[in-house]
Chains A and B, each alone.
Chain A
Amino acid sequence: MFGRRTLLAAAAALALTLPAFGAQAQQPPVRIALIGPMSGTGAFEGQLGLEGAQAMAAVINAKGGVAGGRKIELLTYDDKGSPEDGVSAAKRAMEQDNVDMIIGGWFSAVALSMKEVTRDKIITVMTSSQHPKVTEEGHKYLFRLNATSAMMSEFYSKAICERIKPKSIAFMNVNDDWGRLELDNYTKLLTGCGIEVKGHEFYNRTDTDFTTALTKLKSLNADAIYVAAINTSQGATIYRQIKQTGYRGKVIASAGNMNPKLVELSGNSLEQVYSASPFTEDGAAPSLKPWLEQYRKDYKNDPSFIAALGAQAVQTLAFGVDAAGGDPRAYDKIAAALKSQAVPTVMGELRFSDKGQASQAIHLVQVQKKQIVSVRD
């Protein structure tokens, strides 16, 4: 079927393209795997994180890349929001695709499993997961950007106790490591300031309808309902359905889970709802404006906390490679640099502890007239 003529022609064509490949072999790019939920209920979070990271990579590459003129190349993997797929994606990235570094761990359950696969093998930056064990039981190359749920709950419970002041509260939490931890944390902290905890309901990561659970919660007649939802699609449905059950009390959104798309999808059900977030668009960090400009140019979504985390992750890795002299595989040097110096990012300067935990400033925010505004005293 394929005669000699065709084969010769194909070989000639290939030979002509070879010089093109040769010309590009100056400096290989720094290859970073971005492992996130690209499908399923968490798909929107994955998309936002990817956009934020890509925008920051574009900003850095436009300025010449990292030390030695190497560009940043992001490879995307889908962890589907599940620990099993996260682990297999990490394995693929490390073993088959030979990436230099990994960004991942958007959901705590995935982060907790994925860190075991990358243990002491590759620099891993976990982004939005909040579970303390990610860094408490981390490894020497593991870093985590988001404040832990303990750090968030310390800040946020004070705001709930002193500002929002409900007399009683009920919880609607996702049934995973983070959701259960939130319930424990806030039950302790809020009973501590005199708020009665009337009950809780757990929902699953894959649920699409919450009316049964919310009907039960509504009948508890709590002053406020605290919603611990990890992703935008379930969150928006929950907030809408709370309103649809006829519940008239206050609604409190969990810390670190507010973004413009959630506000858009929730209709009017998020008005006056509080949350806590490390990200505000009017921050003072020098790298924030150029990143915002690039993001707005490339994407239709409004900049969000999750996107900012994607940007922070790329900035952290770029800083580490620069500080280690340009070699993305000099993991010990990179880790040492990150743990000893302040990393400038879009959300301010980050300092990493010995365990790789970042210190992020947290702000109280509220949804007012469909905008997320920071609440300052």
Chain B
Amino acid sequence: MDFTVFAQQIANGLVNGMAYVLIATGLTLVFGVLRIVNFAHGEFYMLGAYITYFVGTLFGLDYIAAAAISAVVVAGLGVAANKLIFWPLRRDHEFTILLSSLGLALLIANGGELLFGADPKYVESPFADEVLDIGTVTLTQQRVLVFAAAVVALIAVYLFIRYSRFGKMMRATAQNPDGAALTGINIGLVHTYTFALACGLAALSGALVGPTVMIFPTIGNWAVLKGFIVVIMGGLGSVTGALFAGLLLGVIESLGGGYISLGFMEAIGYAMIIAVLLWRPNGLFSTARGLR
């Protein structure tokens, strides 16, 4: 077995996996804290990629600035979505909220097609084509950036949730929303911040991964599907679970595609969920209700 190719496939898998983790973390946060299954999550990924593109081309800003602005703007859009849809529906059945999020997803995706055009676009980044040789493994700078930026973002999120006052509020709400409200936590504010964080992460993922592929308005479907696979495998509400499951999915897809069959690369992900859920029905890192 050629070790170079093996190492390369693992490296590719880790990079892809990190992108999945970024998408999944936001999704699992929204579920863990707010008990909302948000099908529109992938659309914020798409918006992150597109806003980076437009800020870069229309205002001529450099890639990093464009990506940062995009994350902030989409976080704002997430807050707006919460205010318009999820907050007013918070007392309704979980299914109603799920269907509404599906409607939102369709709205954003098709609106995107109208606004941005259905033709594929390419997000410019100075790191996209430059190649780094790390030992025998070849990676573009952009892919290294995806991994590094994701690690930084995740550490920041973890520290925030663990140690900041607001993080504690989020964890309290995750454990028991009514109890948390009774102790004086402003649940509305928790909603707002959670959505801002989740959508910001999704947008960041879109901005980082965008330059490695073509973007078009329907990529949100792909993103939300990957996000859900990872979240289900890692356990709904578990951030550490999302981290492990995401990386695992990335690596297994890469190795499976590389050594078994490319045609079944997607199927491998689904087969993995089935296997994991048979063994651990609540996901790999599931425990009682709460945010971990």
- A residues touching B (Cβ–Cβ < 8 Å)? 38-41, 43-44, 46-47, 175, 201-204, 208-209, 211-213, 215-216, 219, 232-234, 236-237, 240, 243-246, 265, 267-269
Interface assignment of B218: CB less than 8 Å from any CB of chain A: yes
Q: How far is the CA of A204 from the CA of B267 in the complex (A)?
A: 13
B214 touches A236 (CB 8 A): yes
Question: B216 touches which one: A43, A213, A246, A269 (CB < 8 A)?
Answer: A43
Question: B16 touches which one: A46, A204, A209, A245 (CB < 8 A)?
Answer: A209
Question: B262 touches which one: A41, A213, A236, A245 (CB < 8 A)?
Answer: A213
Given A208-B222, A234-B214, decide whether A39 and B118 contact each other with a Cβ distance below 8 A. yes
B140 touches A237 (CB 8 A): no
Chain B residues near A211 (CB, 8 Å)? 12
Question: A246 touches which one: B128, B133, B219, B265 (CB < 8 A)?
Answer: B133
Given A215-B5, A244-B140, decide whether A41 and B120 contact each other with a Cβ distance below 8 A. yes
Interface assignment of B257: CB less than 8 Å from any CB of chain A: yes
B120 touches A44 (CB 8 A): yes
Chain B residues near A215 (CB, 8 Å)? 5, 8-9, 12, 258
Q: How far is the CA of A160 from the CA of B253 in the complex (A)?
A: 35
Chain B residues near A246 (CB, 8 Å)? 131, 133, 138
Interface assignment of B176: CB less than 8 Å from any CB of chain A: no
A43 touches B129 (CB 8 A): no
Q: How far is the CA of A230 from the CA of B212 in the complex (A)?
A: 20
Question: In the complex, what residue of chain B is closest to A241 when comparing beta carbons?
Answer: B212
A212 touches B12 (CB 8 A): yes
Chain A residues near B113 (CB, 8 Å)? 39
Q: How far is the CA of A233 from the CA of B122 in the complex (A)?
A: 9
B213 touches A212 (CB 8 A): no
10 A–B pairs (Cβ distance < 8 Å), ordered by A: A40-B218, A47-B119, A175-B263, A211-B12, A212-B12, A233-B120, A233-B216, A236-B120, A244-B129, A265-B122
Shortest beta-carbon distance, B270 to chain A, in Å? Answer: 15
Chain A residues near B25 (CB, 8 Å)? none
Shortest beta-carbon distance, B63 to chain A, in Å? Answer: 15
A212 touches B9 (CB 8 A): yes
Shortest beta-carbon distance, B225 to chain A, in Å? Answer: 12
B213 touches A237 (CB 8 A): yes
Range class of the B interface residue count: 20 to 34
Shortest beta-carbon distance, B138 to chain A, in Å? Answer: 4
Shortest beta-carbon distance, A334 to chain B, in Å? Answer: 32
Interface assignment of B92: CB less than 8 Å from any CB of chain A: no
- B residues touching A (Cβ–Cβ < 8 Å)? 2, 4-5, 8-9, 12, 16, 113, 117-120, 122, 128-129, 131, 133, 138, 140, 212-214, 216-219, 222, 253-254, 257-258, 262-263, 265
Shortest beta-carbon distance, B289 to chain A, in Å? Answer: 36
Q: How far is the CA of A39 from the CA of B118 in the complex (A)?
A: 5
A240 touches B129 (CB 8 A): yes
Chain A residues near B131 (CB, 8 Å)? 244, 246
Quick one: which of A212, A213, A244 has the most chain B CB within 10 A?
Answer: A212
Q: How far is the CA of A208 from the CA of B216 in the complex (A)?
A: 10
B262 touches A208 (CB 8 A): no
Chain A residues near B8 (CB, 8 Å)? 215
Chain B residues near A43 (CB, 8 Å)? 118-120, 216
Chain B residues near A175 (CB, 8 Å)? 263
Question: In the complex, what residue of chain B is closest to A265 when comparing beta carbons?
Answer: B122
B119 touches A245 (CB 8 A): no
Q: How far is the CA of A267 from the CA of B122 in the complex (A)?
A: 10
Chain B residues near A269 (CB, 8 Å)? 129
A213 touches B257 (CB 8 A): yes
Q: How far is the CA of A236 from the CA of B213 in the complex (A)?
A: 9
Chain A residues near B253 (CB, 8 Å)? 212
Question: A208 touches which one: B9, B129, B133, B219 (CB < 8 A)?
Answer: B219
Given A208-B222, A219-B4, A237-B214, decide whether A201 and B262 contact each other with a Cβ distance below 8 A. yes
Question: A202 touches which one: B16, B219, B262 (CB < 8 A)?
Answer: B262
- Not counting A216-B258, A268-B129, a sample of 4 additional A-B residue pairs whose C-beta atoms are within 8 angstroms of each other reads A39-B216, A43-B120, A212-B257, A236-B120
B129 touches A216 (CB 8 A): no
Q: How far is the CA of A227 from the CA of B140 in the complex (A)?
A: 21
A219 touches B5 (CB 8 A): yes
Chain B residues near A202 (CB, 8 Å)? 262-263
Q: How far is the CA of A201 from the CA of B253 in the complex (A)?
A: 16
Chain B residues near A213 (CB, 8 Å)? 257, 262
Chain B residues near A234 (CB, 8 Å)? 214
Question: In the complex, what residue of chain B is closest to A40 when comparing beta carbons?
Answer: B218
Which 4 A-B pairs give the minimum distances between C-beta atoms?
A233-B120, A43-B118, A233-B214, A212-B257
Chain B residues near A232 (CB, 8 Å)? 120
Chain B residues near A240 (CB, 8 Å)? 128-129
Chain A residues near B222 (CB, 8 Å)? 208
B138 touches A245 (CB 8 A): yes
Question: In the complex, what residue of chain B is closest to A213 when comparing beta carbons?
Answer: B262
Given A201-B262, A209-B213, A212-B254, decide whether A39 and B218 contact each other with a Cβ distance below 8 A. yes
Shortest beta-carbon distance, A248 to chain B, in Å? Answer: 11
B9 touches A41 (CB 8 A): no
Chain A residues near B128 (CB, 8 Å)? 240, 244
B5 touches A216 (CB 8 A): yes
